[in-house]
Amino acid sequence: MDSRKRLEELRLLLAEHSQRYYVLDDPVISDGEYDHLFQELLEIEEKHPEWITPDSPSLRVGGAPLEKFSQVAHRLPMLSLENAFGDQDLLAFEDRLLRFLHQDDPPEYLAEPKLDGLAVELVYEGGVLIQGSTRGNGEVGEDITAQLRTVSSIPLRLRKGDRARLEVRGEVFMERAGLVALNGQRAAAGEPLFANPRNAAAGSLRQLDPAITAQRPLRFFVYGVSEPSVSGCRNQQELLNFLADLGLPVNSHVRFCPDMATVISHFAELAALRHELAYEIDGMVVKVNDFSLQARLGSKARAPRWAIACKFPAIQATTRIITVDFQVGRTGAVTPVAILEPVDVGGVMVSRATLHNGDEIERKGLHKGDTVLVQRAGDVIPEIVKAVVEKRDGSEEVIVMPTSCPVCSHPLLKPEGEAVTRCPNPHCPAQRLRSLVHFCSKAGLDIEGLGKKSVEQLFELKLIQDLPDIFFLKKEDLSSLEGWGEKSAENVLAAVNGAKTPSLSRFVAALGIRHVGEVTASLLERSFHSLESLIQATVDDLVEIEGLGEQVAQSTVEYFSDPAVQQMFVKFQQAGVQPQVESLDKKKLLLSGEVLLFTGSLKKLSRTEAKKMVKDHGGEITSGVTKKLTCLVVGEKPGSKLKKAQELGKKILTEDEFLQLVESV
Ligand code: IVH
């Protein structure tokens, strides 16, 4: 079979299997077989990039980063919903409907879970996803097509895709477990946490680099179309069945309700079920089922008359702040934690809540001894909403941030303009212990048997003091310890041995550099193909990388230039630790070992494209004409860089020559 035909066949096969896996939860081939087919598709596309279509599964991994989001006007506005807060409001909603319709017999309803995520519109033409956008202000949203293509449960091609244009709407969201894991990574990297699934979904979709979105565990459920009348369906229930037949994921807790009494009892059922779902719902959306009734009811300015969102009560409780602890994190950040009188918040006992930092305490005006309102935000992290000021009796005490480290007594710093108070002492035992725990954890090298407890034990016994020490552990050190034996010592040593060749990105993420989490680490791996060149990178080199900001660049360079860190790397080397660069056979690559720089204005390529080409071919990009540079590519009106490169005798290519070179392979 010719490869173009095969590519088409692979696209269809992969779409079918991905649908079975992500939408129907009914796979018929193994992950390995899927990967195999995917690899075959990638190989053909690599040879023939001109054959890549907008529904190619390869777009699921991200594609090229954008410079900025462009705007998309929705052909028909995306409306919002009015809120209801319980049975009385639902009955009043039905009263309003009947009055508006001038009729006595109540309509039938469809009740759907209200998903806590971000509303998006997906446009399919000829069955192929051609555009995806955020709701924005309802009239105009942002074009996030590339980002949405990475969401596995969004079909890139519909099952029966003959109709000209279909605009579907639904919610993109993150599962609770995905959010907890993501926040774990962010906490480890010293990045701010997402307070709820909606923020996490929005933050993940609004990434200019879709490769970052691709790494976030997002899901999608469809709940409607822009124009129900053109679907040929008579009611919302038929519409959802129709959309499911097209391969779009429909939530399984949607319920047909012949009357309002059923709606109300379903609301109670859904409220009880809510904690068992893998994702967060914040209420139930009630829709008049019949489309002709919907059309008669029409809309008000921002919301339709035929639907309402009935919200669950917030999960809150009151308790008292007993005292405040100050914890020193891996990066030295000192976090105040309120120790609470234990209280049941919606089925979960809460006895601590983070107060984030001194500014936050001041903003909320909290005192020790205060009675406070706590809630589980997005059902994930307990937080203090406010102090109940009326309950104060004068015994409350002001919460004062410490001025010296509670662990090592080193004076603390609070840089101007930053909210975080930090212990700057890199030898602070708290920081060292936390780094070790992170290094061995799932977010780090994932060394089985070296969980938090074991690492704490080994640290206290001074068997490990810095990261490389892990690789010098001996069997006799471990087997005689309390709670250990021959077998567990052997297992841990085997795991440690296996961790000597991590991928470069995993290793970098494990180091716990400030602001460098898993995502940044893989950006770094993609741009630097060895640990050595990463260590030598300058801030200018790093900010060249799309998706990597000044702050991250600064802290990365600061980290690697610290003499103590350099010493640590010598020790890593002695231990035989060798991070590997995955999936890149550097030797075979055209630009391996080459360090390029573009100057002047390019006519055929954007800077981003040009840089991507260099990286895809194994080359590196630098920011100035230095000794390291091997080749300068010049566009129109090159500046002083050309002269300097000529003086240094560097190789010079025009844009066309560069393109010819790259396209020659
Ligand atoms: S229907 C005109 N159905 O709730 C119909 N919305 O405040 C408007 N939402 O922006 C939307 N689950 O993000 C609908 N099953 C569902 C929903 C749902 C969540 C969100 C959606 C919308 C917001 C309305």
Pocket test for ligand 1, best of 137, 167, 285, 302 (most atoms within 8 A of CB): 285
Contact 553, 539 (CB under 8 A): yes
577-588: average pLDDT: 68
Domain 429-498 = CATH 1.10.150.20: yes
Task: Give the nearest ligand 1 atom to 254 CA.
Answer: 15
Check whether 73 has a pLDDT greater than 90: yes
Distance (Å, rounded) from C-alpha 158 to C-alpha 369? 58
Cβ of 136 less than 6 Å from ligand 1: no
Q: Mind listing the pLDDT tens digit for each residue in 291-334?
A: 999 999 999 878 999 999 999 877 788 999 999 999 998 889 99
Domain 83-311 = CATH 3.10.580.10: no
The residue whose CA has the least distance to atom 3 of ligand 1 is 223
Give Cβ neighbours of residue 412 (< 8 Å, ≥ 6 apart).
334, 401, 402, 403, 404, 405, 421, 422, 423, 424
The residue whose CA has the least distance to atom 11 of ligand 1 is 80
The residue whose CA has the least distance to atom 17 of ligand 1 is 114
Distance (Å, rounded) from C-alpha 118 to C-alpha 98? 31
- Identify the band that residue 586 occupies on the pLDDT scale cut at 50, 70 and 90: very low
Cβ of 223 less than 6 Å from ligand 1: yes
Structural tokens at position 238: 């038929």
- How many other C-beta atoms are found inside a 10 Å radius of the C-beta of residue 581? 17
Residue 27: what pLDDT? 86
Kindly state the greatest CA–CA separation across the chain. Answer: 90
| Better pLDDT: 417 or 459 | 459
Strands 316-328 and 307-311: unpaired
Residue 161: what pLDDT? 66
Q: Mind listing the pLDDT tens digit for each residue in 496-539?
A: 999 999 999 999 999 999 888 877 888 888 888 788 889 999 99
Q: How far is the CA of 512 from the centre of ligand 1 (A)?
A: 39
Q: How far is the CA of 119 from the centre of ligand 1 (A)?
A: 7
Angle at the Cα of 12 (from 7 to 15), degrees rounded to 5? 120
Contact 285, 311 (CB under 8 A): no
Pocket test for ligand 1, best of 74, 79, 114, 277 (most atoms within 8 A of CB): 114
What CATH superfamily classification does 315-398 receive? Nucleic acid-binding proteins (2.40.50.140)
Check whether 215 has a pLDDT greater than 60: yes
Alpha helices in 475-630 (DSSP H): 475-479, 486-498, 504-511, 518-527, 531-536, 539-543, 550-561, 563-574, 607-616
- Hey, is 350 helix, strand or coil? strand
| Better pLDDT: 447 or 443 | 447
Angle at the Cα of 223 (from 219 to 229), degrees rounded to 5? 145
577-601: average pLDDT: 77
Residue 141: what pLDDT? 92
- Identify the band that residue 246 occupies on the pLDDT scale cut at 50, 70 and 90: very high
With the C-alpha atoms ordered 641, 642, 647, 649, is the resulting torsion angle positive or negative? positive
Q: How many helices (H) and strands (E) does the chain have?
A: 24, 23
What is the CATH number assigned to the segment(s) 3-52? Answer: 1.10.287.610
Residue 143 forms beta bridges with which residues? 133
Q: Provide the mean pLDDT of the chain.
A: 90
Distance (Å, rounded) from C-alpha 451 to C-alpha 45? 43
Give the number of residues written for the chain: 665
Count CA atoms closer than 13 A to 189's CA, side-chain side: 25
Cβ of 166 less than 6 Å from ligand 1: no
Give Cβ neighbours of residue 513 (< 8 Å, ≥ 6 apart).
189, 555, 556, 559
Q: pTM for this structure?
A: 0.63
Residue 309: what pLDDT? 96
Residue 587: what pLDDT? 42
Distance (Å, rounded) from C-alpha 318 to C-alpha 245? 47
Contact 630, 590 (CB under 8 A): no
Check whether 40 has a pLDDT greater than 70: yes
Of 213-222, 291-300, 449-458, 544-553, minimum mean pLDDT range: 544-553
Asked if the domains at 3-52 and 83-311 fall in one CATH topology, the answer is no
The domain locations on the chain are 3-52, 83-311, 315-398, 429-498, 504-574, 588-662
Task: Check residue 62 and report its DSSP letter.
Answer: -
Contact 338, 371 (CB under 8 A): no
Q: Which CATH number fits domain 504-574: 3.40.50.300, 1.10.760.10, 3.40.50.150, 1.10.150.20?
A: 1.10.150.20
Distance (Å, rounded) from C-alpha 610 to C-alpha 617? 11
Ranked by mean pLDDT, the top range of 109-113, 311-315, 327-331, 547-551 is 109-113
At 538, which amino acid appears? T
Check whether 388 has a pLDDT greater than 60: yes
Q: Which residue's structure tokens are 């440690």?
A: 496
Cβ of 224 less than 6 Å from ligand 1: yes
Pocket test for ligand 1, best of 116, 223, 299 (most atoms within 8 A of CB): 223
Distance (Å, rounded) from C-alpha 598 to C-alpha 645? 11
Q: How far is the CA of 216 from the centre of ligand 1 (A)?
A: 22
Distance (Å, rounded) from C-alpha 299 to C-alpha 87? 23
| Better pLDDT: 269 or 376 | 269
Ranked by mean pLDDT, the top range of 133-137, 218-222, 590-594 is 218-222
Residue 585: what pLDDT? 53
% of the chain with per-residue pLDDT over 70: 97
Task: Give the nearest ligand 1 atom to 112 CA.
Answer: 15
Residue 590: what pLDDT? 80
* Active-site pick, 5, 47, 68, 114: 114
Q: Measure Cα distances from 126 to 164, 247, 560 in Å.
A: 5, 14, 52
Give Cβ neighbours of residue 389 (< 8 Å, ≥ 6 apart).
365
Q: Which residue's structure tokens are 């936050």?
A: 360
Distance (Å, rounded) from C-alpha 72 to C-alpha 139? 9
At 550, which amino acid appears? E
Alpha helices in 374-474 (DSSP H): 429-440, 452-460
Residue 496: what pLDDT? 95
Residue 583: what pLDDT? 53
Is 586 assigned a catalytic role?
A: no
Residue 191: what pLDDT? 73
Cβ of 173 less than 6 Å from ligand 1: no
The residue whose CA has the least distance to atom 5 of ligand 1 is 79
Q: How far is the CA of 114 from the centre of ligand 1 (A)?
A: 7
Q: Measure Cα distances from 383 to 177, 428, 613 in Å.
A: 18, 28, 46
Of 169-173, 558-562, 637-641, minimum mean pLDDT range: 637-641
CA-wise closest residue to 10 among 156, 220, 126: 156
Count CA atoms closer than 13 A to 291's CA, side-chain side: 17
Q: What is the 3-state secondary structure (H, E, C) of 499-536?
A: CCCCEHHHHHHHHCCCCCCHHHHHHHHHHCCCHHHHHH
End-to-end Cα separation, the chain, in angstroms: 24
Q: Mind listing the pLDDT tens digit for each residue in 262-296?
A: 999 999 999 989 888 999 898 999 999 999 999 99
Q: Which residue's structure tokens are 């059923």?
A: 262
Q: What is the 3-state secondary structure (H, E, C) of 82-123?
A: CEECCHHHHHHHHHHHHHHHCCCCCCCEEEEEEECCEEEEEE
Cβ of 81 less than 6 Å from ligand 1: yes
**Fold classified for 588-662:** Rossmann fold (3.40.50)
Cβ of 285 less than 6 Å from ligand 1: yes
Task: Check residue 419 and report its DSSP letter.
Answer: -
Task: Give the nearest ligand 1 atom to 83 CA.
Answer: 7
Residue 377: what pLDDT? 57
Cβ of 423 less than 6 Å from ligand 1: no
Q: How far is the CA of 269 from the centre of ligand 1 (A)?
A: 20
Check whether 588 has a pLDDT greater than 70: no
- What dihedral angle (degrees, nearest 10) is formed by the CA atoms of 512, 513, 514, 517? -60
Task: Give the nearest ligand 1 atom to 119 CA.
Answer: 13
Cβ of 255 less than 6 Å from ligand 1: no
Per-position b or e across 217-247, b if 16+ CB within 10 A of its CB: bbbbbbbbbbebeebebebbbebbebbbebb
Q: Measure Cα distances from 658 to 117, 312, 330, 432, 596 in Å.
A: 44, 60, 45, 47, 10
With the C-alpha atoms ordered 253, 155, 43, 521, is the resulting torsion angle positive or negative? negative
